[in-house]
Amino acid sequence: MTVRHFLRDDDLTPSEQKQVLELGLAFREDRHVRQPLSGPRAVAFITDKPTLRTQVSFATGIAELGGFPLMVDGNLAQIGVRESIADTTHVLDRMVSAIVWRTFGDDRIQEMAAASRVPVVNALTDGFHPCQILADLLTVAQHRGGVTALPGQAFAYVGDCANNMAHSYLLGGATAGLHVRVAGPQGYLPDAAIVARARAIAEETGGSVTVTDDPVEAVTGADAVATDTWVSMGAEAQAAERSRPFVPFQLDAGLLAHARADAIVLHCLPAYRGKEITADVIDGPQSVVFDEAENRLHAQKALLTWLLEQR
């Protein structure tokens, strides 16, 4: 029996990603169009990190799929501390239909997936945030004419390009056939191996990948512009030192003016107004950040449904 997992964005082929996004749009139209967890069947949601949108969207989504969201506090479970990750997985996969984990190192979730007999979903790791990018692609599709309109769209991301969001934008965007442009200061650019992988995918899908330290180059003519916090979870103690290099990459009205006049603005939230994005931009008419937040629900329901149907 082959079990499909979703640990990073390129775990879905372009055609598979398209199937998931099409199903996500269907869930936007009818939140109960499919209920693969009806019974109910349980899905474990484990979080080792603070969360709001991820926890609420997965818990709500699992319930709307007819299932039971089993919420597990990672700080109490101490996975990999009290017992091995593999032993924990062997216990869980006898009771639940899927496992969703928000954790730290990618090696942890890879170890769980290797041991699991049920799908394992990455709800955020240090390296990737693939469920967020599914929601972002769904948001672009929602505002740009559907999933078939995604190939060829220009998508710009400015800010910390050495983080999980940038890595997932590169892989997920290339898979969708986007022209992905990421811009960050020197010292905060993406992992070279991820860039190479994204470029290889883009060659197949007709997309492209640009990495630059010039935010204007990234944003010029873009159909969608995104940013993220300059200080990721776990780096709060270095907030002042880390923020200085990012000041020229703030998404303000001046930078946004280089994009298309009807470009949409995304931010995965929480946002720090006056830091990585100004209030007039995130609260302005081009912002779709709350559609983007809602689309976590629809995209993740589509992903779970698709994964469960692969068995």
- Catalytically annotated residues: 102, 129, 132, 228, 268, 296
Select from 13, 302, 179, 242 the least CA-distant residue to 169. 179
Hey, CA dihedral for 73, 74, 79, 82, is it positive or negative?
negative
Whether residue 244 contacts residue 216, with contact meaning beta carbons closer than 8 Å, is answered with: no
Q: Is 58 helix (H, G, I), strand (E, B) or coil?
A: helix
Question: What DSSP character marks residue 9?
Answer: G
Cα radius of gyration (the chain): 19
Q: Is 181 helix (H, G, I), strand (E, B) or coil?
A: strand
- Cα–chain-centroid distance for residue 144? 19
Residues in the chain: 311
Q: Is 266 helix (H, G, I), strand (E, B) or coil?
A: strand
Task: Give the up-direction half-sphere exposure of residue 88: CA atoms within 13 A in the CB hemisphere.
Answer: 22
Q: Within 10 Å of residue 242's Cβ, how many Cβ atoms?
A: 16
Whether residue 286 contacts residue 246, with contact meaning beta carbons closer than 8 Å, is answered with: no
Whether residue 63 contacts residue 32, with contact meaning beta carbons closer than 8 Å, is answered with: no
Task: Calculate the alpha carbon distances from 134 to 20, 38, 170, 172 in Å.
Answer: 9, 24, 12, 7
